[in-house]
Chain A
Amino acid sequence: GQQLNQSPQSMFIQEGEDVSMNCTSSSIFNTWLWYKQDPGEGPVLLIALYKAGELTSNGRLTAQFGITRKDSFLNISASIPSDVGIYFCAGQLSSGGSNYKLTFGKGTLLTVNP
């Protein structure tokens, strides 16, 4: 089955620094999603990408859908303490008319030191 490699597994940074994380897949997707999960909560959608090469921003967050359709990255600029959490990438591929199966990465745990 499809697998996603998400890296890094964890990051420990100083407030104000920029952060970059990425996901690579063994096969193509036609949608990439980035979620953030705070402790004790469910994943919250940050950015959705639908087209190869697409670059989308949401405030200090920027994500890109790789040209090969097998990768995506997420950048966070000027990190703040509330950016702490686990960031998940997820890929989705339409199959047989259905469009719901998400393949998730294992997550990147981000810690921001004030």
Chain B
Amino acid sequence: ETGVTQTPRHLVMGMTNKKSLKCEQHLGHNAMYWYKQSAKKPLELMFVYNFKEQTENNSVPSRFSPECPNSSHLFLHLHTLQPEDSALYLCASSPRTHVAKNIQYFGAGTRLSVL
């Protein structure tokens, strides 16, 4: 248990569906992250939030929409996805983005399949 919980663990959706991924951290951190992990590729940073403010959008398509209502919760809203969006989506948290020794702790991920 890393203190970062992601739900659901598995999700299958059609290209016209709308779904949301949820992440919750119990570590008292103030920064939260979304990553995409595809087979045989390095982890790709998607979004960064620091104290609920988005500080990075790494050129992610608008069909992915993040939401951070507070420092403990992070959502990723999905709509009209493409089959190539199928991947493991990982959430991470860290103390905050502007501090030394800013270690990121990961959740178990949501395995997403887009049909």
Residues of A within 8 A of B (CB): 4, 31, 33, 35, 40-45, 48, 50, 88, 92, 94, 97-107
Which residues in A have their C-beta under 8 angstroms from that of B97?
98-100
Expressed in whole angstroms, the minimum distance between the Cβ of A7 and any Cβ of chain B is 14
Asked if residues A99 and B102 are in contact (CB atoms below 8 Å), the reply is: yes
Which residues, 24 to 41 on B, are CB-close (under 8 Å) to A? 31, 33, 40-41
Distance A102 CA – B90 CA, assembled complex (angstroms): 14
Distance A50 CA – B55 CA, assembled complex (angstroms): 24
Distance A50 CA – B33 CA, assembled complex (angstroms): 22
Asked if residues B106 and A100 are in contact (CB atoms below 8 Å), the reply is: no
B114 within 8 Å of A by Cβ?
A: no
Expressed in whole angstroms, the minimum distance between the Cβ of A63 and any Cβ of chain B is 14
Asked if residues A42 and B45 are in contact (CB atoms below 8 Å), the reply is: no
Number of residues in B with C-beta < 8 Å to the partner? 30
Asked if residues A105 and B107 are in contact (CB atoms below 8 Å), the reply is: no
Asked if residues B40 and A106 are in contact (CB atoms below 8 Å), the reply is: yes
B42 within 8 Å of A by Cβ?
A: yes
Asked if residues B103 and A48 are in contact (CB atoms below 8 Å), the reply is: yes
Distance A102 CA – B102 CA, assembled complex (angstroms): 10
- What are 25 sample pairs from A and B whose C-beta atoms fall under 8 A apart? A4-B42, A40-B111, A41-B109, A42-B6, A42-B108, A43-B43, A43-B90, A43-B106, A45-B103, A45-B105, A48-B101, A48-B103, A94-B100, A98-B98, A99-B99, A100-B31, A100-B94, A100-B102, A100-B104, A101-B45, A102-B45, A104-B43, A105-B42, A106-B40, A106-B42
Partner of A97, one of B45, B98, B107: B98
B48 within 8 Å of A by Cβ?
A: yes
B65 within 8 Å of A by Cβ?
A: no
